[in-house]
Amino acid sequence: MLIQLGAMMAAAPDRYPPGTQITFTTVGPRNADRWTFTVGERETLELPAGPTPAIRLQKLPRHDRDLRADLWLGIDRQYLPVRLRLTQSNGDFAELALK
């Protein structure tokens, strides 16, 4: 799904201005769910790989127990993911960043 989001943005970046919502069906170990990502503004991330222009996409939780996902797609890296942060409802999180 993360690569698919990047491919969609790379193919037609003007089609996804800030505020656009993109919805996918995801499948987990117990159920299938609809995830809606909202396209944010362009920003420059300070990553281990250096300054990286990116677009942020956010998946906000719909219920108290839902996962929150923040994804940054690198504009000059064919919109591939350059940072990902997954946050559980209790505040625990995992974060990945391009080196």
Q: Where are the domains of the chain?
A: 2-97
Pick the more confident residue, 31 or 92: 92
**Model pLDDT for residues 2-61, shown as the tens digit of each residue:** 899 999 999 999 999 999 999 989 888 888 888 899 999 999 999 999 999 999 999 988
Distance CA 51, CA 48 (A): 8
Q: Which residues contact 41 (CB under 8 A, 6 or more apart)?
A: 18, 55, 56
* Average pLDDT value for residue range 63-79: 92
40 close to 70: Cβ distance less than 8 angstroms: no
The answer regarding whether domain 2-97 maps to CATH 2.30.30 reads: no
Write down the pLDDT at residue 38. Answer: 97
